[in-house]
Amino acid sequence: MAKAIWNGVLLAESKDVAHVEGNAYFPKNCINWGYFRKSHALETFCHWKGFASYLDIVAGGEVNEGAAWEYPSPYKQASLISDRIAFWKDVEVEGTPDGRGLVEPTPSQRDTITGWEALCWLLRHPPKSELSAADVQAGTNLTPYDFVTAWQQRDVQRYAKRYRWTLECGSSDAPIRLIQAPGGPVKVF
């Protein structure tokens, strides 16, 4: 039986947890909803799971902001986490399987994702360590003009930092170029 506990309060308990990337996703019908409220934490994006929204936990007179999350409409590759909640930020989760569970499929699929969301996917799965404007457009459907706006998007910047990408603006022949520094991903929260 998996359990999620914070500040001495049982938040969730179930034999049916989805184990994804080392996190236990509890079914919504086993959550003790009296301890939750919608969070002001910003929504985040995952290139293979979709958009995550957050919940605050309120227990024992304390608030743990954004300590629970869900993917209200996960992408097909991550449909296992549909209608489920996961925890972090000092929430004790016990009784879960060892290992990482389901991880991003190999090869990862961009499916029909375009725009800045596809740019996140491209930064995670680049065909090479230097990308031209044509490479970016082919992988995202973003024109060079649209790319500049997309590059400023918060989650794109998070991916750029994590996977060590820098943007160079050049001439009219090569208006943009992305360059990836060598080394592994940087841990970014």
Domains of the chain are 2-94 (2.170.150.40), 115-180 (1.10.10)
Q: Residue 187: pLDDT band by 50, 70, 90 thresholds?
A: confident
pTM to 2 decimal places: 0.86
CA distance 9 to 116: 39
Section 73-77 average pLDDT: 94
Section 148-164 average pLDDT: 94
Section 140-144 average pLDDT: 89
Query: Does the pLDDT of residue 174 top 90, yes or no?
Result: no
C-alpha count within 13 angstroms, C-beta hemisphere, residue 123? 30
CA distance 24 to 27: 10
Query: Does the pLDDT of residue 42 top 60, yes or no?
Result: yes
Q: Residue 188: pLDDT band by 50, 70, 90 thresholds?
A: low
Closest by CA to 176, choosing from 154, 144, 142, is 144
C-alpha pair distances (Å), 21 with each of 33, 39, 152, 178: 24, 23, 27, 28
CA distance 53 to 71: 6
Instruction: Burial-class residue 20 by CB neighbours within 10 Å (0-12, 13-18, 19+).
Output: buried
pLDDT value for 69: 98
φ/ψ of 9, rounded to 5, equals: -115, 135
pLDDT value for 172: 63
C-alpha pair distances (Å), 39 with each of 17, 29, 118: 23, 20, 26
